[in-house]
Amino acid sequence: MSDSSVIIVDLDVRGEREITRLADALKRWLHQQELTADIDTGRRVFTPNANCSTIAVCPRCSNKVSDWVDIANDTLTAWVEYRGEDGVSCPHCAHTSRVSEWAWRDGEPWALGELAITFHNPEHSITGSFLSRLQKQLDGHELKVIHSHL
3-state secondary structure of 8: strand
- pLDDT computed for residue 19 by the predictor: 97
- pLDDT computed for residue 109 by the predictor: 83
Judge residue 116's burial from the number of C-beta atoms within 10 Å of its C-beta, 0-12 exposed, 13-18 middle, 19 or more buried.
buried
pTM (2 decimals)?
0.87
- pLDDT computed for residue 122 by the predictor: 85
Ranges under pLDDT 70 in the chain: 1-2, 50-53, 106, 150
- pLDDT computed for residue 33 by the predictor: 92
- pLDDT computed for residue 51 by the predictor: 67
- pLDDT computed for residue 106 by the predictor: 67
Helix 128-137 / helix 16-32 crossing angle, nearest 10 deg: 130
Interatomic CA distance for residues 64 and 59, integer angstroms? 10
What residue segments make up the domains of the chain, in order of their start? 1-50+113-149, 53-108
Class of domain 1-50+113-149: alpha beta
- pLDDT computed for residue 35 by the predictor: 92
Q: Are 73 and 79 in contact (CB under 8 A)?
A: no
